[in-house]
Amino acid sequence: MAIALPPQAAAHKPKALAARYRRVRNASLVLAEPLAPEDQVVQTIPEVSPTKWHLAHVTWFFERFCLLEHAAGYEPVDERYFYLFNSYYYTVGEMYRRPARGLLSRPTVAEIRDYRARVDEAMLSLIAQRADDPAFAFLVELGLHHEQQHQELLLTDIKHVFFTNPLGPKYAELPEPPRAEGTPLAFIARPGGILEVGASGNAFCFDNETPRHEVLVRDHALADRLVTNAEYREFIEQGGYNDPALWLSDGWAQIREESWSRPLYWSEDLEQEFTLGGWRPIDPHAPVCHVSYYEADAFARWAGARLPTEAEWELAAAEQSVAGNLLDSGLLNPAASPKTAHAENGAPRLRQLYGDVWEWTSSPYAPYPGFKPLAGSLGEYNGKFMCNQMVVRGGSCATWAEHIRATYRSFFYPRDRWQFLGFRLAKDA
CB of 290 within 8 A of CB of 264? Answer: yes
What gap in Å lies between CA 208 and CA 206, rounded to an integer?
Answer: 5
pLDDT band for 343, please (50, 70, 90 cuts).
low
Q: How large is the angle between the packed helices 293-302 and 249-258, nearest 10 degrees? A: 120
The residues facing 421 across adjacent strands are 358
187-428, what's its fold?
paralog of FGE (formylglycine-generating enzyme) (3.90.1580)
Residue 340 clears pLDDT 70, i.e. is over it = no
What gap in Å lies between CA 214 and CA 195, rounded to an integer?
Answer: 5
Gyration radius of the chain's alpha carbons: 22
What gap in Å lies between CA 407 and CA 411, rounded to an integer?
Answer: 13
Q: Which tens digit of pLDDT belongs to each residue from 184-237?
A: 999 999 999 999 999 987 889 999 999 999 999 999 999 999 999 999 999 999
What gap in Å lies between CA 21 and CA 15, rounded to an integer?
Answer: 10
Question: What mean pLDDT do residues 326-341 have?
Answer: 88
Residue 9 clears pLDDT 80, i.e. is over it = no
Chain mean position to CA 352: 16
Angle at 155 between CA 147 and CA 328, to 5 degrees: 75
pLDDT band for 38, please (50, 70, 90 cuts).
very high
Sign (positive/negative) of CA torsion 129, 132, 138, 144? positive
User: What is the pLDDT at residue 11?
Assistant: 61
CB atoms within 10 A of CB 89: 18
| Dihedral angle of Cα 316, 318, 322, 323, to the nearest 10 degrees | -30
Residue 4 clears pLDDT 50, i.e. is over it = no
pLDDT band for 2, please (50, 70, 90 cuts).
very low
Query: Does 369 sit behind a cis peptide bond, omega within 30 degrees of 0 on the bond before it?
Result: no
Domain residue spans of the chain: 14-164, 187-428
Residue among 389, 384, 387 at smallest CA distance from 373: 384
User: What is the pLDDT at residue 339?
Assistant: 65
Residue 341 clears pLDDT 60, i.e. is over it = no
CB of 410 within 8 A of CB of 393? Answer: yes
Residue 1 clears pLDDT 80, i.e. is over it = no
User: What is the pLDDT at residue 222?
Assistant: 98
Pairing status of strand 421-422 against strand 358-364? parallel
User: What is the pLDDT at residue 375?
Assistant: 85
Output the average pLDDT for the chain: 94
User: What is the pLDDT at residue 13?
Assistant: 82
Residue 347 clears pLDDT 70, i.e. is over it = yes
Sign (positive/negative) of CA torsion 152, 373, 391, 313? positive
DSSP letter at 287 equals B
User: What is the pLDDT at residue 272?
Assistant: 98
pLDDT band for 5, please (50, 70, 90 cuts).
very low
Residue 330 clears pLDDT 60, i.e. is over it = yes
Residue 12 clears pLDDT 90, i.e. is over it = no
What gap in Å lies between CA 353 and CA 393, rounded to an integer?
Answer: 8
Percent of the chain at pLDDT exceeding 70:
96
pTM over 0.85: yes
CB of 417 within 8 A of CB of 264? Answer: yes
